[in-house]
Amino acid sequence: MPARLTTGAQTMSSSVEPHINSRCSQYPGSEIKRFPVPDDKVDWTTDWPQYTPVNYTSPSVTKRPPWADPGIGSFTPHFNTLDAAVDRTSFEGDYRLEQGKPQNPRGRTGLTGRGLLGRWGPNHAADPIVTRWKVDARGQKMPHPVSKQPVLQFVSIKRRDCGEWAIPGGMVDPGELVSLTLQREFSEEALNSLNATAAERADIRARITQLFNTPGFLVYQGYVDDPRNTDNAWMETVAVNFHDDTGDSVSELPLEAGDDAGKVGWADVDSSFPLYASHSHFLEVVAKERHAHW
């Protein structure tokens, strides 16, 4: 959990709709096609003897211990608990085990194994949503021509893996506090701090630390309908909004692509901007919370 969050903040309720991206036929980065799962068969409690999901774990996963778990049977994981440094708890509550393997709490996906995900069960990510107001040359907020509401801008990256625009999030490292992941991922992916001069780097670090030490707004925590999900492995995230209200903190930073991000910049928060995974939903919550255009 992030250490400092606004209290009483409204969180986005977990959707009870059947997941969709998690059933997308073509599994990302492969030729693998999932066993088709219709809406009425997603729920595990619906009896479906004909269900014969495809088993797939990417070779890139099996080659990457300790980032990835070994195969079930060759290690002794402790599920539904903090397992040494690896957080195997789910925001969805305790998940079931079927033949020693975690069962996706949102239902069938048409694919068993781990696909591209390293951990059996929940794979935890963190999404820092850094925002500022869109202002004119005189520093005045610019209302949207249609909604007349002020427009927020957020730091957006173009992901190298899929080419989609996204919040600069990433995986929580074993033993890492989510609050640190949020700050680390933002620095690595959005600010290319590794290519900056020592003086620039110190300035960037100071500004980021200052912003991330302000109370963030908890936007969402829970299951994510991510295209990499499988019957036995799935994504969960904590999305937190850090807002530079006065425009004198990170708003002024020159943004460059870094780490695994292709491009980075300030983008208007607007419902028409297509984004990766559940990121649009997160921005909608932020826009409503800050009474901004959506």
Q: Closest separation between CB of residue 72 and ligand BGC, Å?
A: 22
237 binds ligand BGC (CB under 6 A): yes
166 binds ligand BGC (CB under 6 A): yes
Coil, strand or helix at 67: coil
CA–CA dist 213, 3 (Å, integer) = 9
- Residue (37 or 166) nearer to ligand BGC, CB: 166
Residue choice 157, 224, 238, 283 for contact with ligand BGC (CB under 6 A): 224
In b/e form, how buried is each residue of 18-42, taking b as 16+ CB within 10 angstroms? bbebbbbeebeeeebebbebeeebb
CA–CA dist 76, 74 (Å, integer) = 7
235 binds ligand BGC (CB under 6 A): yes
277 binds ligand BGC (CB under 6 A): yes
Q: Where does residue 99 rank: exposed (0-12), middle (13-18), buried (19+ CB within 10 A)?
A: exposed
Q: Closest separation between CB of residue 136 and ligand BGC, Å?
A: 31
Find the binding residues for ligand BGC in span 82-111 (CB under 6 A): none
Residue choice 125, 157, 240, 255 for contact with ligand BGC (CB under 6 A): 125
226 binds ligand BGC (CB under 6 A): yes
The footprint of ligand BGC (CB under 6 A) covers 125, 127, 166-167, 169-170, 224, 226, 235, 237, 277
